[in-house]
Structure 1
Amino acid sequence: MEALETCINYWEDALALYRSRDGGGALAVLGPEEANFCRDLQHLLDAAIELQDKSEMLFLDQRSVLFRPESGTHLSENGIDADLSGGESFASAQDVVADLREFEEFADYFPDLEQFPLYQTALRHLENGGIPCRTLRTELVKCGSDGEYLGKLHCLRLAFQNILRDRTNYIWFADAGRQILADLLLYADRDPKDFLIGYEEMLKYIQEGNNWREVEEELSMKGVKALTFYDVVMDYILMDAFEDLDSPPSSVTAVVQNRWLSNGFKETALTTAVWSVLKAKRRMLKFPTGFMAHFYTISEQLSPLLAWGFLGPDELLRDTCVYFKDQVMGFLVDIFNFQKCRYTNVEELAEDVIQNLKIRIENISQRLSAQS
């Protein structure tokens, strides 16, 4: 039993390390051979854990025949304890049922996957060829494993593609984004004019089909694996921005935390620092008028606001920025949740995704309007 436990530990470590880079960051893509190896190792691990459970029941559990007094144990020819009366058997069965009831509260964490054929199809896709991914967000969206995250990611990509094929939905997405971000600027007493101009130029650019090859090339250089709303807006733009704000450069924190400088000077210095970084990035662009150039134009208006909101001394602005971030993160957790979204087919998943998004957009709008 000890040797089996040692083997299981080694195999679990091997599986975890093989799926990671340097024991830490996630490996973005598993090729067919790697995926097959991981699948076989997972099967071996599952079989070993099942063997361990059966062995414990047979050799270590107090209910095992090995722990019964020899004189009180009489087995019939078919192996059933002949000394147990019907009443005792019924009592034992009741105990078992009572024990099983203790696990009912965990049923939501272990759903019947047969209810989710779309998700099952995604898992088969993962096993057969792998699912490309820029960054694993497994813990962030509260998935139980990297495989679950990748399977759901594949489903969500299909759902977002389905949503944005509808021109009405596309217009709603564009209008909601414009309104929320403009309201955030107004809330912070910033003029949204330059942002609105940049936003409209971005929409005009991405609606031109001839630009999509450039967009794909630019974003692939950034590690983006699919041109979907999730991959571009949620994962690459928003998640990376929040991560940068969680760990700002020391030069920025030194300015913001300097108690000898006025708040006005701190804000100006922070804005100048952000613009300098964006200006340097612009000079390195392969396509000076491409997607990233339009993105940087919008960032010039929003990044200083968010940086000042999260890092500056204005507590009310910080609370509002944190609320905005919490709503975005809450939306991500919701769409990766079996209880909040139906992973049955693309249409039903798309319906649930947009419904969850509308709830979060409404929450943010109400917060900004109330604060204003």
Structure 2
Amino acid sequence: MPNYKETYLTPKTELIKRIKDFQSMMQTEDLDGALISQSADIVYFCGTYQDLHLYIPAAGKPVIMIRRNIDRFRTDSKLDDYPVIKLRKFSEIIRNIKEHDLPVPKRLGLELDVIPASVYLKYKQLFAGADLIDCSSLIRRQRAIKSDYEIARTKETAKMMDNIFNALPSIIKPGKSEFELAGDIEKIARREGHQGLIKTRGFNAEFYFGQLLSGPNSAMSSYFDGPINGIGLYPEFPFGPGEKIIEREEPVLFDYVGAKHGYIVDITRTFAIGEAPDMIDNAYKVAEEIQQVILAKALPCMPAGHLYDLAFEQAQKHGLTDYFMGAPYPVSFVGHGVGLELNELPVLAKGVNTPLEAGMIMAIEPKFVFPGIGGVGLENTFVMSNTGLKKLCSFPDQTIIRL
């Protein structure tokens, strides 16, 4: 069995507080309970992932029903005060709820944004007569505000990403392919403790590590809902680095996602071997200016969409709106929350009125795409404090890094 360091385990007090806070939210929404099965939500409430159903009643002790490795759960989670039982069949869920002196819910919360339709139909049959309510928005709102423990974990990931990016100048060489260089970087990332998996919420939301793109490839659009996509190696996965050889006098974009102990940091820098084209160089300076404007003005209670408006105004001021956040298919956001998943709340998008709050962790990514030439951008991950945004990574971001 694993023998993790004690510091690797999420503290019991942290997990219990998360569950109790969620119970308070359910009571406000008149839910009798919620059945949780999605991996990131299981990690959030349990501190580890196994194939299980977590039933959280609006009041009382949760019931943890595990389909496979019950011993691993007991080793990896500090939730030792709650019933942990073996779930042999899907149909046993209601019986297990009753056996632990909990009423069968009449209004049951489910993660309807992510569970497959086939699973939903099973729940509908199992909880016949109950109202099945989408509780995913409650969970996502709760997870958007990070605790001191989560902020500390994210800072560990930020330190890891600093170490990875500090190694980049020594390995970027002309004549290497993007894919070859990506392998060199991933070796460093794994050595530094990168977990590999990047959790992303949503249907068909596959994502792998990040982007290492050069020249025109960094301006290639594809399926991913982001400003930078890349060509990929094959049409079966048209995303990320390809076989293109890295050359001098062109942008080399590194948009990488770090994940350690589950918590994510998103960071982008632009390099050039020699000089970058003038339009790339100028656009990077505008991206840095956008970041500074946002840092100067972002405060708790401000609508999340206002940060996009600030960024767009700066792009407009410099005549770059046609290239801002993608071209010819721009996205209408300039940032996003990060946590256990890459695409958490808040969404810093046009028209979003959700107020920013202290404890939110978000990636802000002003980027420009010039079709046929290249993409350029800057991205950092910040935590919102009572006085404004605090940058988590220390890797410099003032200019394109010339090699």
Q: Say whether the fold is shared (TM-score over 0.5).
A: no
Higher relative contact order (CA 8 A, sep 6+): 1
- TM bucket normalised to smaller: under 0.3
* Bigger radius of gyration: 1
TM-score normalised according to structure 2 size: 0.23
TM-score normalised according to structure 1 size: 0.24
Higher helix share: 1
